[in-house]
Amino acid sequence: MTNSDRNRLKDKAFQVFGIFCTFIGLAVLAIFLIDILIDGLGRINWEFLNNLPSRRAHRAGIYTAWIGTLWILLMTTVIAFPLGIAAGIYLEEYGKKSRMATLLEINIANLAGVPSIIYGLLGLEIFVRLMALGGSLLAGALTLSLLILPIVIVTTREAIKAVPRSIRDGSFALGASKWQTVWHQVLPASFGGILTGVILALSRAVGEAAPLIVIGALAYVPFAPASPMDEFTVLPIQIFNWISRPQAAFTTNAAAAIIVLLFITFILNGIAVYLRHKWQKRIKW
Amino acid sequence: MSKKNNKLEAINLNAYYGDFLALKNINVAMEENLVTAFIGPSGCGKSTFLRTLNRMNDYVDGFRIEGQILLDDQDIYKKEVRVDELRKQVGMVFQKPNPFPKTIYENVIYGLKIQGINDKNLLQETAEKTLRQTTLWDEVKDKLHKSALALSGGQQQRLCIARALAISPSVVLMDEPTSALDPISTAKIEELIYELKKDYTIIIVTHNMQQAGRVSDHTAFFYMGELVEFAKTKTLFTSPKDTRTQNYITGRFG
């Protein structure tokens, strides 16, 4: 066997191995999806989406949960989006390179890896107790905002960093201030990337149960929240609650709720992919 | 050279990046409505000097200068000088064409827009005028509202020149404006420089000595942060006084 034959064989072997690895990941996901669909798809109907929670499995619905999830989604966006983007812009465009800045940078990156339940405890102490917000939507949204803020900041910085230096130079050379340059050049050119990051971060927040349970979001809320100060539940908590019950009918409910949650996540991810695609097509350096 | 025609003048200028002395005691005057070329090997300080003339180096960490740079006899590094006002006077064209990822029209009027000028007629007139000045008008008049990134490299560079002219500067700095372009685009830009010097004072950094010879009236030779020789272009190329200049222009180094 010649050297080049051996190389070709290695090449082939790695290819097969790679396909195998990819397949394992996809297969597990597919089995999970099929299982959930078989269990839950039949349970999804108008009543299920519109009913309040109940002790009787066949009458229980996820109305309060998905309304709560949408509230949380919206409020977290409103809080985390401007804060995260502003912080990212500051760190990337304004902050001077210093030891302090490097320290800050490392810490923000580390914060992205802190377990979500820790954020729940932080939220419990600060928002629920200190600020006396109770187990309200506002407390929940603030807690989840803390959770995704590091991700939003890091993706914002990455997106901003991808805008070439020459664009900023061109803008400065025409007499633009730093803010004008950020507003007219850097942000429009990086907005696709920023948005993608924010949406992916949100789709993580949507799936969180632990930190919200810690701040006191309830599984049983007899009414849909109507204001940010109302108590609430979200789909993951509802799912967690149903799954821990012994009756099979509740497990079916949980499967159905999982399908709805997955649907919301898929839509969010779909939007992210679409935006990235659209922006990338528009701007080529 | 009579003093009254000096548009830009450097007096005892030292420039530092941190501890590194990048420009050593530069004294030079650039005359109004002439083209002054800066030549010299890479790292000799010519681009650094060019970028001190509109204070683009302000954004470089650790950069500082000593001495003075006078624009119309006013020190541009004085505390009360506003950088944005200075840059309305002293425009700049970069080495690599850097159109904004916007339409051609938006590119040209960007400098006016950020000054808060919104008068549609004025913006359109300026756009047409500067695109004609840069001989780009006929090529782009039907696609003013298409992306500037779709233009060829040479067209993009002329657009960048038009963009710089739109805010009516009196000086235009050009940092190797043709080094990324093909010979035909280069020729067009050189013709343009020749036309523009009627109305503007032009300072051009170039690696290409033939180009310096073709377009400039005065040439400054930089070497290791020093201004070695400054003279009429013809004089500098035909009878250089300094041996380093002679070695450089005869291609012995650089």
pLDDT per position as a tens digit, B114-137: 999 999 999 999 999 999 999 999
Q: How far is A172 from chain B (nearest CA, A)?
A: 8
pLDDT in tens, A212-247: 999 888 767 778 888 888 888 899 999 998 888 888
How far from the centroid of its chain's Cα atoms is residue A140's Cα?
14
Q: How many alpha carbons lie under 13 Å from residue A15 in its C-beta half-sphere?
A: 6
Q: Looking at residue B59, what is its pLDDT?
A: 84
pLDDT greater than 70 at residue A284: no
Q: Tell whether B115 lies on the interface with A, counting CB pairs under 8 A.
A: yes
The residue among A283 and B58 whose pLDDT is bigger is: B58
Q: Looking at residue A255, what is its pLDDT?
A: 92
Confidence of residue A59 (pLDDT cuts 50, 70, 90): confident
Q: Looking at residue A156, what is its pLDDT?
A: 94
Mean pLDDT of A42-64: 84
> CB distance B88–A175 less than 8 Å?
yes
Confidence of residue B2 (pLDDT cuts 50, 70, 90): very low
Q: Looking at residue A248, what is its pLDDT?
A: 87
pLDDT in tens, B161-203: 999 999 999 999 999 999 989 999 999 999 999 999 999 999 9
Report d(CA B204, CA A7) in Å as an integer: 53
Per DSSP, the three-state class of A194 is helix
Residue of B150, B202, B200, B197 whose CA lies nearest to B175: B202
Q: Which residue blocks in chain A are alpha helix, DSSP H?
A: 3-40, 46-50, 63-89, 99-111, 116-123, 137-161, 165-173, 178-181, 187-206, 210-214, 235-243, 248-282
Give the chain A residue nearest B160 (alpha carbons).
A170
> CB distance A188–B101 less than 8 Å?
yes
Per DSSP, the three-state class of B173 is strand
Give the chain B residue nearest A280 (alpha carbons).
B101
Give the chain A residue nearest B95 (alpha carbons).
A166
> CB distance A164–B54 less than 8 Å?
no
> CB distance A175–B56 less than 8 Å?
no
pLDDT greater than 70 at residue B65: yes
Q: What is the mean pLDDT of chain A?
A: 89
> CB distance A184–B91 less than 8 Å?
no
Q: How many alpha carbons lie under 13 Å from residue A142 in its C-beta half-sphere?
A: 20
Q: Looking at residue B159, what is its pLDDT?
A: 96
Contacts of A173 in chain B (CB under 8 A): 54, 56, 87, 91-92, 94, 164
pLDDT greater than 60 at residue A43: yes
Which single residue is written with the structure tokens 């040439």?
Answer: B219
Phi, psi of B21 (to 5 degrees): -85, 105
pLDDT in tens, B14-30: 999 999 999 999 999 99
Confidence of residue B254 (pLDDT cuts 50, 70, 90): low
pLDDT greater than 60 at residue B78: yes
Interface of B with A in 184-243 (CB under 8 A): none
Q: CB under 8 Å to B152, separation ≥6 — which residues?
A: B185
**Where are the strands (E) in B78-123, listed by range?**
90-93
Q: Looking at residue B3, what is its pLDDT?
A: 52
> CA A169 → CA B19, B89, B157, distances in Å?
24, 16, 15
Task: Give the percent of chain B with pLDDT over 70.
Answer: 98
Contacts of A279 in chain B (CB under 8 A): none
The secondary structure of A145-176 as a DSSP string is: HHHHHHHHHHHHHHHHHTS-HHHHHHHHHTT-
Q: Tell whether A25 lies on the interface with B, counting CB pairs under 8 A.
A: no
Q: Which of A174, A190, A278 to mutate to test the interface with B (most CBs of B within 10 A)?
A: A174
pLDDT in tens, B85-125: 999 999 999 999 999 999 999 999 999 999 999 999 999 99
Contacts of B115 in chain A (CB under 8 A): 175
Q: CB under 8 Å to B243, separation ≥6 — which residues?
A: none
Q: Looking at residue B4, what is its pLDDT?
A: 56
Mean pLDDT of A30-48: 89
Q: Looking at residue A95, what is its pLDDT?
A: 82
> CA A56 → CA A36, A65, A232, A248, A266, distances in Å?
21, 17, 20, 12, 30
Q: Tell whether B167 lies on the interface with A, counting CB pairs under 8 A.
A: yes
Contacts of A174 in chain B (CB under 8 A): 87, 91, 110-111, 114, 163-164, 167
Q: Looking at residue A275, what is its pLDDT?
A: 82
Q: How far is A284 from chain B (nearest CA, A)?
A: 8
Interface of A with B in 51-110 (CB under 8 A): 96-97
pLDDT in tens, A90-141: 999 988 778 888 898 899 989 988 999 999 999 999 999 999 898 899 999 9
Contacts of B111 in chain A (CB under 8 A): 174-176
Q: Tell whether B177 lies on the interface with A, counting CB pairs under 8 A.
A: no
Report d(CA A258, CA A281) in Å as an integer: 34
pLDDT greater than 70 at residue B50: yes
CB contact at 8 A, B58 and B87: no
Q: Tell whether A190 lies on the interface with B, counting CB pairs under 8 A.
A: no
